[in-house]
Structure 1
Amino acid sequence: MDTYDVKKRHKELYSPSSTEFAVVDVPEFRYLAVDGRGDPNTSAAYAHALEALYGVAYTLKFASKKTLGRDFVIAPLEGLWRADDPAVFTARLKDSWDWTMLISQPDWITEDMVDAAVGTVAKKKKDNPALANLRLLTLNEGTCVQILHIGSYDDEAPTLHRLHHHYLPEHGLTFNGDHHEIYLSDPRRTAPAKLRTILRQPVRSA
């Protein structure tokens, strides 16, 4: 049985340089998604979102393997981050952040399968309100600029400042979607200085 792994299937999107920005074409992906707002370090909604996403993702993995004979590696956690003023990201004003947390899914995972998995998880996690808002999201970001950040999440600000105020204007580009982060490291098991996070920004001609 072949095991689908989005990081291997789309290696060019999940292994960027840590020194230079790169322009990439991101195709359509589907994700398990939960929306929320606030500081991810302190928000109960954020903790509920992650619990719901991983619970449903693993339930789908086991169901797919059992009923379809198709297995896949659980993809890394990803997040779309937005605010009325992008400056809140470089200033790290986390209470002002709106977010959508994501886990990529193979294209054979259907909405009916997601609904069934949510129902299964809800029987065990009846007190998790995020399950009621979990959905299958299709995202087509197209042209993006990305770079690999190594270090603490709170140390992303200089790289984002360089992207927003130097790279984009110097290349005639502007924002065309939410700030996107892909978390390649498990923060529970990795020292902050060694965390690996892809910073991705959909762009268009200015």
Structure 2
Amino acid sequence: MTDKTDFKKTFDAYRAPRTGFRVVDVPDLRYLMLDGHGDPNTSPAFAEAVETLYPVAYTLKFASKRELGRDYVVPPLEGLWWADDPTAFTTARDKSRWDWTLMIMVPDWIDRSMVTAAVERAGARNRPARLDEVRLETLSEGRCVQTLHVGSFDDEADVLARLHHEFVPGHGLRMAGKHHEIYLSDFRKVAPGRRRTILRQPVTSAT
């Protein structure tokens, strides 16, 4: 029996303080990705993206264990979020204006051919709606600031406002990439008040 890697326990970039903010250097990482637009609570594309990414991710996990002898816990769902006007996240919270990319990390020992095979295998029965849109892409974020938010997604605004308007400028930084959320809790199963979400913001020096 091989050891099973759990990235939520071993990967430093999945650690964040519940109070305050942490600066972390995130390495380049590869993800299964799907894009969309609009309110995640009502957008059919959002639900279809979740329902597509997980079957591919689990098919890939089983292939890794079977073919490479390397087992792992499927990493958490993650999301990149952005809008033409950043206040759509902090003050207005107008979800209809949000763009997003949902993602699940792919371990570095898995090559592209295995991902391609997993996508094909995931469509063999009960084919997910957006399977043809799944892509493998490298995300380069580098220096980031992050914190652990416990609670409803709708309660993130105050935390993000402190991050954007206090911590980042107060430490000689400026925002340099898309808002990033890591869902340590499965929001399909965990009550809103108990959800654990890492909020991440890529940054660069302001000078």
- Shorter-chain TM-score: which interval? over 0.9
Shift, 1:164, TM fit: 1.0
TM-score, length-scaled by structure 1: 0.94
Q: Percentage identity across aligned positions?
A: 60
Aligned counterpart, 2:39: 39
* Separation in structure 2 between the aligned mates of residue 7 and residue 126 of structure 1, nearest angstrom: 29
Q: Deviation at 1:126?
A: 3.5
Alignment match, 2:48: 48
Q: What is the alpha-carbon distance in structure 1 between the residues aligned to residue 138 and residue 144 of structure 2?
A: 17
Offset of residue 135 of structure 1:
1.0
Post-superposition offset of 1:127: 5.8
Is this contact kept in 1: 2:52–2:128, CA < 8 A? no
Q: Secondary structure at the match of 1:107?
A: coil
Separation (CA, whole Å) in 2 of partners of 1:155 and 1:100: 21
Report the CA distance between 1:67 and its aligned residue: 1.4
CA distance in 2, matches of 1:93, 1:75: 29
2:192 equivalent in structure 1: 192
1:167 — aligned with what?
A: 167
Unaligned runs of 5+ in 2: none
In structure 1, the partner of 2:95 is 94
Deviations 1:11-60 (A, max 9, x none): x3223111111111111111111111111111111111111110000101
The runs of at least 4 aligned residues of structure 1 exceeding 3 Å deviation read none
What letter matches 1:107 in structure 2?
D
The code of the aligned residue for 1:123 comes to A
1:8 Cα offset (Å): 2.5
Letter matched to residue 8 of structure 1: K
For 1:123, what is the secondary structure of its paired residue? coil
1:116 aligns to what? 117
**Equivalents in 2 of 1:112, 1:74: separation in Å?**
19
Tell me which amino acid in the other structure corresponds to 1:179. Answer: H
Give distance in 2, aligned partners of 1:168 and 1:64.
39
TM superposition score normalised by structure 2? 0.94
Aligned mates of 1:126, 1:102 — CA distance in 2: 19
Residues 127 and 138 of structure 1: CA distance in aligned 2, closer, same or farther (over 3 Å): closer
Alignment of 1:77-88 (within 5 A): 77-88=77-88
Residues 51, 128 of structure 2: 8 Å contact kept: no
The 1-side partners of 2:104 and 2:203 are apart by: 22
Instruction: Supply the distance in 1 between the matched residues of 2:39 and 2:111 (Cα, whole angstroms).
Output: 31
Offset of 1:138 from its aligned partner? 0.8
**For 2:128 and 2:161, how far apart are their aligned partners in 1?**
40
Q: What is the identity, as a one-letter code, of the residue corresponding to 2:53? A: L
Deviations along 1:121-179, one digit per CA (max 9) or x if unpaired, are 22323460x21111111112110000001110000000011111111111121111110
